[in-house]
Chains A and B, each alone.
Chain A
Amino acid sequence: MKNNDILLEVDNLRTYFDTRRGLAKAVDGVSFDLYKGETLGIVGESGCGKSITSLSILNLVPQPKGKIHGGEIKLHREDEVVDIAKLKRTGKKMKDIRRKDSAMIFQDPMSSLSPVYTVGSQIMEGIMLSHDVDKVEAREMAIEMLRKVGISPAEQRINDYPYQLSGGMNQRAMIAVALASNPNLLIADEPTTALDVTVEAQILELMAELQQEYQMSIMFISHDLDVIGEISDRVVVMYTGKVVEVAEVEELFYNPSHPYTQGLLQSIPKIGRKKELKPISGSVPQIYNLPDACHFAPRCPHRMDICTKKEPPTFDLGGGHQAKCWLYEEGGENNEG
C-alpha cells in the first residue's frame, strides 16, 4: 500500500509496568501499521498485551505503574505526523488527538458510561469537545447519533440514564459516545465479549456499517478468533507482549504460519461460540524475566534447538504476511521486532 494510505505506524513499541514482582514487559517491541479505512484485528490470550497496546496508542496506560518506555506511535493527521509515544499524557496535543482523531470503546457496556449522567449528556460532551457547536446544536447531533446506532425513539432515549438501557443498548450508546467526535481511528477493546451471541452479531454489523459511513480505521481487539475473522481485514496475533504473526485475514485462516496461530485455529470449536481459547497444552508464561528465546517454545510442537537459545526475528513471508518463528529462517529476515 502507498504511504499516504497509512493512518497509524506503531514501531517497536515497549510499554512496561513497574510491579512489585519486577518489570513486567506487557508490550515488548510491537510493530504494525494501520491503514486508512481498514479493520485490523488484534488477537491473543488475556495478558498477551493487546489491551495495553491499544491503551498505549491513546496514551492511557494505567498510572502510575505503567509507562511507555520506547518506540514510536506515529499518527498521520490531516496536516502533520505526530508521535504519540512522545506526547505528555495529559498534554494539550494529546487531548486534541483524543477529541478529534481517535475514539475508544470498551468491554463492559454497563460500567463504561457514567451512571449519574444521561446518555445524551455524555454524547453531547464529546460532540462539544470536538465540534464548534452550542448546546442546542449538540443536542440535535446527539439525537442523530443515537438514531444512527439504532437506539429509538432517540428523542426520548437521549434523556435516559445508562441503567435504564439493556447491555446491548448500552453498547450502542457507548459507540454513539465514541463516534460523536467523528474520529478517524476507533479502538474497540473486546467490545462484544460481555454480550450474548445475537447481540454480538448486531453490534458487529453496526460497527461495519458505521465504518463504511465514517470511513474510519478500526483496531478491533479480541481473544475470540471467530469474531476477529468476521470483522477484520488484517490480523495481528500477539503472545507475551510481542507480535508473532501478521497476515490478511484469509491468509491467516487458510495458511497460518506461526505454530501459536495454528494452535489457536485448531482450538476453535466448529459449532457454537464464546469458548475461551485453550489452544495448546501448557500455559502462557508470566511476563517477568523472560529468557532470550522464543517464548512459545515450552508449548511448541515444532521446537528446535535454536528456539530456546535465541529469540526469533520477524520473517517476511511475502504479501504482507509475517511470522516471528525460526521455522521461516530461509524466507529472508526482516528487521528485528
Chain B
Amino acid sequence: MLSYILRRTMIMIPMIILISMVSFLIITLPPGSYIDSYLANLQRMGGEVEQSRADALADRYGLNDPIYEQYWKWVKGFPSGNFGMVFSEERPVMDVIQERIGFTILISVLTLLFTWILSIPIGIYSAVKQYSFGDYFFTFFGFLGVSIPNFLLAIIIMFTGLRFFGVNLSGLMPAAYMGEPWTLAKIAEVLKRIWVPVVVVGTAGMAGLIRIMRAEMLDQLRQPYIQMARSKGVDEIKVIIKYAARIAVNPLISTVGWLLPQIISGGTIAGIVLGLPTLGPKLYDALKIQDMYLAGTIIFINIVLILIGTLLSDILLALVDPRIRYD
C-alpha cells in the first residue's frame, strides 16, 4: 500500500510540471495582456495614460519577453512559494491565496458535510421505503434543488433575510469586522451567515447524491446476501446499515476525492452573488482583467487538486472494498 502511494506520488511530479505549462498557456492564450485591458479600462473611464508608463509597467512585469522566459520566471518561484504578482493589487499572489484559502476550504468542507449527512440517510430511506410518500417527497425536493439555479436561490435567501428578518446575509461578516482579529462576536457573525452558501451550493448537489445512494441501495437490497443475513436472524436495521448501506456507499466514497477541486471551482457563482471572500470569485475577476499570474496560480492549484483527489479516491476505494488490491 505504502509503495503504491509512493509510486503514484512520483508519477505526479512530471504531471505537475506539465500542468504548470498548460495553466500558463491557458492564461496567455487570450490576445493582449493585463496592461492592455488596464489601459482600455482607464480610457473608458476618461483617464489618460502615457504610453511611457504603460511601457514601464510591461517592462517591469516582463510582459514583452518571449513566452518561455515568462513561463520560466513564473515557475522558478514555485518551490519557494512565490507565484508571481497580482497586477491589480500590486502584491504577491500568495498573499491573496492565503487570505482566502481558509474560508474557501471551510465553506467547501461544510458544504460537503451538509450534502453527505443529509443525502446518505435520505437515499437509504428512499430505497428501503421505495415508492412510499417519503420517497416521492424527497425526490421532489431533490429535483427542486437541482433545478433552481444557485444564484437564484442565493438571491431568494438574501432577499428573505433582509425583507422579513432584517438581516443582511451577504458576505461572511459585516464590513466592520473585516480585517479585525477573531473575537467571539466575529465568529458569531460568520456562523450567522456561513450557512447560506453551504445551503445554496449544497442543495444543488444533494439530489444527485440521493439518487445515486438510492439506486445503489436498491441494487444491494436485491442481492442474495441480504436474504442470507436476514435468514440468520440479523436485525433488519443491521441488515440495512451493516450489509446493504456498507456496500452501497462505496461508489460515493470513491468520488470524495473528485470533490477536492470543487473547493475552488464549486460555488463560484454563488460566491459572486453572495460576495464571499473565497477563491472562486477571485478567479473570475482575475480572468476578466487578465491578471495572469493570479488566474494561472488558481487554475494550477485547481488541477493539482484534481490529481490529489484522484489519488485519494483510489486509496479510499481500496480501503473500503477488500476486493480491490493495489498492485
Contact = CB atoms under 8 A, between A and B. Distances in A.
Interface residues of A, number: 33
Contact of A129 (B223, B234, B320): B234
A102 B231 CA distance: 8
B224 A126 contact: no
A250 interface: no
A112 B236 contact: no
A98 B233 contact: yes
B225 A98 contact: no
Contacts of A112: 224-225, 227-228
B325 to A, nearest CB: 10
Interface string B304-327: 000000000000000011110000
Interface in B212-243: 223-225, 227-236, 243
Chain B residues touching A, range = 20 to 34
Contact of A177 (B228, B320, B323): B228
A266 to B, nearest CB: 33
Contact of B232 (A55, A103, A107, A163): A103
Interface string B234-277: 11100000010011000000000000000000000000000000
Contacts of B231: 58, 60, 98, 102-104, 178
Contact of A116 (B229, B232, B236, B247): B247
A106 B224 contact: yes
A336 interface: no
Contacts of A106: 224, 227-228
Given A114-B247, A115-B247, A116-B246, A60 B232 contact: no
Contacts of A181: 232-233
B11 to A, nearest CB: 28
**Majority DSSP secondary structure for residues of A touching B:** mixed
A98 B229 contact: no
Given A99-B233, A116-B247, A129-B234, A163 B228 contact: no
A177 B230 CA distance: 12
Given A60-B231, A98-B230, 7 more contacts: A95-B233, A98-B231, A106-B224, A114-B246, A115-B323, A129-B233, A174-B228
15 contacts: A64-B131, A96-B233, A98-B233, A99-B232, A106-B227, A111-B225, A114-B225, A114-B246, A114-B247, A115-B323, A116-B321, A126-B232, A126-B233, A129-B232, A129-B233
Interface of B: 130-131, 223-225, 227-236, 243, 246-247, 320-323
Interface of A: 55, 58, 60, 64, 90, 95-100, 102-104, 106-108, 111-116, 125-126, 129-130, 161, 163, 174, 177-178, 181
